[in-house]
Amino acid sequence: MAEQFMRFTSETDPAQDFELYRDLYSSGADVTGLEGDFFAEVTGWRLAGILLFDRRLAGVGHERSAERVRRDQFDHFTVQLVVDGLYEIDSGNDFGWIEPGRIVLMDMTRPMRNRATAARVITASVSREVLQAALGSTAGLHGRVIDQDKALLLADYMKSLAVRAPEIGEADLPAVSRAFIDLLTVAAGSVELGRGADLRRLEFARRESVKRFIEINLATELTAEIIGEATGVSRATLYRIFQAEGGVGGVIQARRLVRLRAALGDPSDARSLADIAQACGFKSESHMSRLFRAAFAASPGEYRRQLRQATSTGERAEISRRRWDALMNEIS
């Protein structure tokens, strides 16, 4: 199923909860309090190339200053659907109210601010590659608001994803993300045409086809030859389209680590580490442990114990923050 990597809910002490929430968001934004009591309920899911957040917020604002943008070097977009409530965005021309039902696009390489007096916002953090596949060019998208009449299908889809994410199988995630891209294209209503844009969409489709094959066959032996024969993508093309991700071998390893992390974080998964290693396609338990420690600074056993022994809101928030930080590498 899709991996739930975040779950934060305010409890009984607004001041203490605010500090925990500010720490949770510390990697990506400066958090400030507004008038009125603070409240936050946030759930985060990892899809294929998309991080989906369902947020209910009150009395809180977020800011990405020019200095923070330079420091963290995020290179992705957020697609934010305001479901209800009062939510304001400043993308460079002062705050403006985003009415419920509207969608706003934000470029994380640009400064921005938002304020949630009391609102529910569903946010998809997506790679620049996804936006380019959907719309061709990403120029001029920062702060663009999609009106309700154009956003209807995408809005319905995002709300459905927020409810149905736990039911989506791992192998289906690339198709789910492709549907998001298609609906974003419809909502935006303007697509760059021309040979360059067509080539970008073709390469994105090739990458997603290969990633889907890898996901379905992750427990088996996978080589460039096997993948190329199954997908019709040549070895040279595989190297080129995945060069930025460490080649197709880097993609396979990253997907195995993601599946491993999801299994370790599932409290209902009672399999031994050896069985999980085999199911994720690692050569051995020791091979799995070495790669996992290099990626996440803890052994699989330590990571599993940390998750299952975390009981306080603070402990759970810290674990969510670390997992969120790791996932940002997938989209930035």
What's the DSSP call for residue 219?
A: T
Residues with Cβ within 8 Å of 112's Cβ and at least 6 positions away in sequence, in order, are 63, 64, 89, 90, 91, 92, 106, 142, 143
Instruction: Answer for the pair 180, 124: CB distance below 8 angstroms, yes or no.
Output: yes
What are the φ and ψ backbone dihedral angles of 80, each rounded to 5 degrees?
-110, 120
* Secondary structure element (H or E) that encloses residue 198, with its range: helix 195-216
Mean pLDDT over the full length of the chain? 89
Residue 289: predicted pLDDT: 96
pLDDT tens digits, 71-99: 888 999 999 999 999 999 999 989 999 99
Instruction: Answer for the pair 22, 10: CB distance below 8 angstroms, yes or no.
Output: no
- Residue whose C-alpha is closest to residue 302's, from 269, 271, 273: 273
Question: Can you tell me the mean pLDDT for 262-289?
Answer: 92
Question: Could you tell me what percent of the chain has a pLDDT over 90?
Answer: 55
Residue 332: predicted pLDDT: 66
pLDDT tens digits, 168-215: 987 788 788 888 988 998 898 765 555 556 677 777 778 888 988 998
What are the φ and ψ backbone dihedral angles of 124, each rounded to 5 degrees?
-110, 115
Query: Is pLDDT larger for residue 309 or for residue 282?
Result: 282
What is the value of pTM for the model shown? 0.82
Domain architecture of the chain: domains with CATH: 1-192 (2.60.120.10), 199-332 (1.10.10.60)
Residue 1: predicted pLDDT: 65
How many helices (H) and strands (E) would you count in the chain?
A: 13, 9
Query: Is pLDDT larger for residue 14 or for residue 53?
Result: 53
